[in-house]
A = this chain, B = another copy of it.
Amino acid sequence: MKTYIIGHIKPDLDSVVAALSFAEYCKLNQVENPTPATIDAINPETKFVFEKFGLTPPAVISASSILPEDKVILVDHNEADQRLVGLNPEQIVGIYDHHKVNLNFSTPIEVCIMPFGSSNTVAWQLFEEVSFNIPPNLAKLMLCAVLSDTVGLKSSTTTAKDRQAVIELATVSDISDIADLTLEIFRAKSNVASLSDEQVVLNDYKVFDFGKKVLIGQLETVEQEILLTSRKAGLLSALQLIKERENVDFIILAVTDILKINTKLLVDGAGEIDLIKKAFGGTVVENILDIGPKMSRKKDISPAIEKALTQ
C-alpha cells in the first residue's frame, strides 16, 4: 500500500516540489508509505532547478500505476478537472493547496488550503508549526518553488508568509543572493527557443468554464518583446489551430514580462478582441492588448474575463 503525493496535470515547479515537501510532512504525520510522484513530464524550468542542485525529481506515474488499495493525496490543486485523468476520487484521502476551492466529496477527507502565493509556502508553514528542521536540499527546492510561483515575490498573490518563507528557506539553504537565483529561474522558465508555437501557447494553460469555455495560456518570460514580434505570426496561427481542436469559445495567450512586471494579451479572433476590451478596457493594437502590471492569471486575469462574460 502506497500513499501517492501528486500535483496537477502539466505540473509546474511549485507542483513538483510540493509533492516532495508534503511527502516529508506526511512522514511526520504517520501517513502510510508516502510516495511523491509527478503525473506528467517536468517542464524546462523544473528540470533546470533540479539539475542546478544535483537533485532527482520525483518519478512520473500514470493512473494505471495507482493500485486499488493505494491512497492519494493531492497537492497544489483541488478541482476535479486539474486532477490525473482516470483517478478514482474515492482513493483521495487528503488535499494540500493554495488555490480557490471547488470540491465535493461524499465522505470527510483531510483538506488544508491556505491562501498563500505558493503551495510550498503552505508546506513551510506546516513545518514551522511542528518546528520541523527542513533538510537543506528540500529547502533549496522549496525556495525556488516559492520564488517561481510568486514571480519573484512580485505577483499580486504574494503574501507576508511567502516573504517570510523565502527569507527563512534561503537561510537554511545557505543561499545569499535571492535576486540572482530568481533571475536564473526566470531565464530557465523563459527559455522557449526549443518549443514550437503550439507548445508556447500550451506551455502553461487552463480552460475555464464561465458559461463559455475560455482557454488562457500564460507565458512568463524575460523576452516579451522578442516573442511578440519575431514569433507573432506563428503564435496567432497556433491560437487558431488550438481553439478549433480544443473546441473552446475563446482562446487568449498572456505573455508576462516577469522583470518589467507587465502582461500583454495576444488574441486572434473578433470575439476575443471584444472580450478582452470589455474585461480590461484599452485598445487592442494589432492583436495585442497591454494590461499593465496584471501578472496573475488566477487573481488578475481570469476573474476579469469571468466578469466580462457573466455581466
Binding site for B on A (CB under 8 A): 98-115, 129-130, 298-299, 303, 306
Contacts and interface: CB of A to CB of B under 8 A. Distances in A.
B105 A102 contact: yes
Given A129-B129, A129-B130, A130-B129, A105 B111 contact: no
A98 B107 CA distance: 10
A108 B103 contact: no
Given A129-B129, A129-B130, A130-B129, A100 B105 contact: yes
Contact of A101 (B99, B111, B298): B111
B106 A103 contact: no
A113 B110 CA distance: 5
Contacts of A102: 103-105
A113 B129 CA distance: 17
A154 to B, nearest CB: 18
Given A108-B113, A112-B112, A115-B108, A101 B103 contact: yes
Contacts of A130: 129
